Amino acid sequence: MSLRPQPGRRDGASQSRTSVSDRYRSWLQHHRLSAADSLFRVLDKPLASLMTWLVIGIALALPVGLSVALDNARAISDGIDSTARVSLFLVDGTSASRAGTLAEDIEQRDDVTEVAFLSSEEALVEFSQLSGFADVLDSLDDNPLPHVILVEPGVTDEASVEALRADMLALPEVAQAVLDMAWLQRLNRLMELSRRLVQALGVLLLAGVVLILGNTIRLAIENRRDEIVITKLVGGSNAFVRRPFLYTGLWFGVGGGVVAAILVAVALWAIDGPVAALAASYGSDFELGGLGIMNSLNLVLFGGILGLAGAWLAVSRHLGGIEPR
Partner 1 sequence: MIVFERVSKRYEEGHDALREVSVSIDQDDMVFLTGHSGAGKSTLMRLIMLMERPTRGQVIVDGQNLAKVRRRGIPGHRRNIGVVFQNHQLLFDRPVFDNVALPLLIAGQDHREVGRRVRAALDKVGLLDKERAMPITLSGGEQQRVGIARAVVGRPKILLADEPTGNLDPALSAEIMELFQAFNQVGVTVLIASHDLALISRLHHRILTLREGRLVSGTSD
What are the DSSP calls for 210-247, one per residue?
A: HHHHHHHHHHHHHHTHHHHHHHHHTT--HHHHHHHHHH
User: Which residue, 113 or 237, has its beta carbon nearer to partner 1?
Assistant: 237
User: Which residue, 289 or 324, has its beta carbon nearer to partner 1?
Assistant: 324
Side chain identity at residue 248, one-letter code: T
Q: Smallest gap, in angstroms, from Cβ of residue 42 to partner 1?
A: 15
User: Which residue, 37 or 162, has its beta carbon nearer to partner 1?
Assistant: 37
User: Distance between terminal CA atoms of the chain?
Assistant: 39
Tell me the three state secondary structure of residue 127.
helix
Q: Smallest gap, in angstroms, from Cβ of residue 321 to partner 1?
A: 14
**Chain contacts with partner 1 (rule: CB under 8 A):** 10-16, 18, 22-23, 25-27, 29-30, 33, 226-227, 229-238, 240, 323-325
Q: Smallest gap, in angstroms, from Cβ of residue 7 to partner 1?
A: 12
Q: Smallest gap, in angstroms, from Cβ of residue 19 to partner 1?
A: 10
Side chain identity at residue 235, one-letter code: G
Contact 236, 319 (CB under 8 A): no
Contact 112, 152 (CB under 8 A): yes
User: Which residue, 89 or 240, has its beta carbon nearer to partner 1?
Assistant: 240
User: Which residue, 14 or 129, has its beta carbon nearer to partner 1?
Assistant: 14
Spatial CB neighbours of 85, under 8 Å, sequence gap ≥ 6: 150, 151, 152, 153, 179, 180, 181
H helix or E strand, kind and range, residue 70: helix 46-79
Q: Smallest gap, in angstroms, from Cβ of residue 223 to partner 1?
A: 10
Q: Smallest gap, in angstroms, from Cβ of residue 78 to partner 1?
A: 56
Among residues 144, 178, 145, which one has the least CA distance to residue 161? Answer: 178
Task: List residues bridging with 152 in a β-sheet.
Answer: 114
User: Which residue, 13 or 278, has its beta carbon nearer to partner 1?
Assistant: 13
User: Which residue, 29 or 101, has its beta carbon nearer to partner 1?
Assistant: 29
Give the side-chain half-sphere CA count within 13 A for 226: 1
The rounded distance, in Å, linking the Cα atoms of 4 and 309 is: 36
Q: Smallest gap, in angstroms, from Cβ of residue 13 to partner 1?
A: 6
The rounded distance, in Å, linking the Cα atoms of 265 and 277 is: 19
Among residues 99, 198, 197, which one has the least CA distance to residue 151? Answer: 99
